[in-house]
């Protein structure tokens, strides 16, 4: 799975209808939609789709905004699913060109404009963060901090450092693979 790093855009014209597609990180979606509605007050449709996680549950929402049912939001969601894109909001603006495209034509147009926005977008891997705590004796604290420093910003966060009677407890969060690697390295220090 991957997530967008920034807003990307694509456009398409089909039988005089103009489509402008925008892919954005989920947290930017509400403000981007509001901005686009102000910038394009004469647009006929603002079709949207969302794919994001609530906890570990994937939420998918599509809105056809007056287009025939299933011709806007659903094709966009299918493209996002096929590309493995999550934590994303998509907005496609349509200016009607006077020629009816039909259900199939609309679905293809909405899908194609989103593909174009994906093609120029920047994405990063998406992972569910895992947390762990590991305690080291004071004698190994320096070595532990050096190991942690090598991984920071590269799939690992140091959430806190807590001093106990026996040593220091590191609270870490990150990608499971990174957490497993660093836990193994730090566990070896516990017994030296």
Residue whose structure tokens are 């194609």: 112
Residue whose structure tokens are 């011709």: 71
Look at residue 166 in the predicted model and tell me its pLDDT: 87
Decide: 47 and 40 in contact? Cβ < 8 Å: no
- CA distance to 88, 140, 159, 174, per residue, from 168 (Å): 39, 9, 13, 19
pLDDT (average), residues 159-167:
92
Instruction: Check pLDDT > 70 for residue 191.
Output: no
- What CATH code is assigned to 130-190? 3.30.70
93 against 175, higher pLDDT? 93
Strand ranges inside 55-166, DSSP E = 57-63, 88-95, 123-125, 130-137, 156-163
- The model's pLDDT over 46-86, given as tens digits with 9 standing for 90+, comes to 999 999 998 778 999 999 999 999 999 999 999 999 999 99
Domain range list for the chain: 2-125, 130-190
2-125 sits in which CATH class? alpha beta
Look at residue 190 in the predicted model and tell me its pLDDT: 63
Look at residue 151 in the predicted model and tell me its pLDDT: 85
Look at residue 65 in the predicted model and tell me its pLDDT: 96
pLDDT band, residue 188 (cuts 50/70/90): confident
């Amino acid at each position: 799975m991957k997530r967008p790093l920034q807003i990307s855009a694509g456009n398409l014209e089909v039988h005089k209808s103009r489509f402008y597609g925008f892919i954005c990180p989920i947290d930017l979606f509400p403000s981007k939609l509001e901005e686009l509605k102000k910038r394009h007050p004469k647009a006929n449709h603002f079709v949207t789709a969302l794919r994001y996680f609530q906890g570990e549950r994937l939420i998918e929402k599509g809105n056809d905004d007056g287009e025939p049912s299933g011709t806007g939001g659903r094709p966009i969601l299918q493209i996002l699913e096929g590309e493995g894109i999550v934590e994303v909001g998509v907005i496609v603006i349509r200016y009607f060109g006077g020629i009816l495209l039909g259900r199939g034509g609309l679905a293809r147009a909405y899908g194609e404009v989103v593909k174009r926005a994906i093609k120029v977008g920047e994405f990063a891997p998406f992972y569910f963060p895992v947390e762990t705590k590991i305690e080291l004796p004071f004698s190994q604290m320096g070595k532990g901090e050096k190991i942690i420093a090598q991984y920071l910003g590269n799939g690992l966060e140091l959430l806190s450092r807590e001093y106990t009677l026996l040593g220091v407890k590191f609270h870490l969060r990150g990608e499971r693979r990174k957490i497993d690697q660093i836990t193994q390295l730090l566990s070896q220090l516990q017994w030296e």
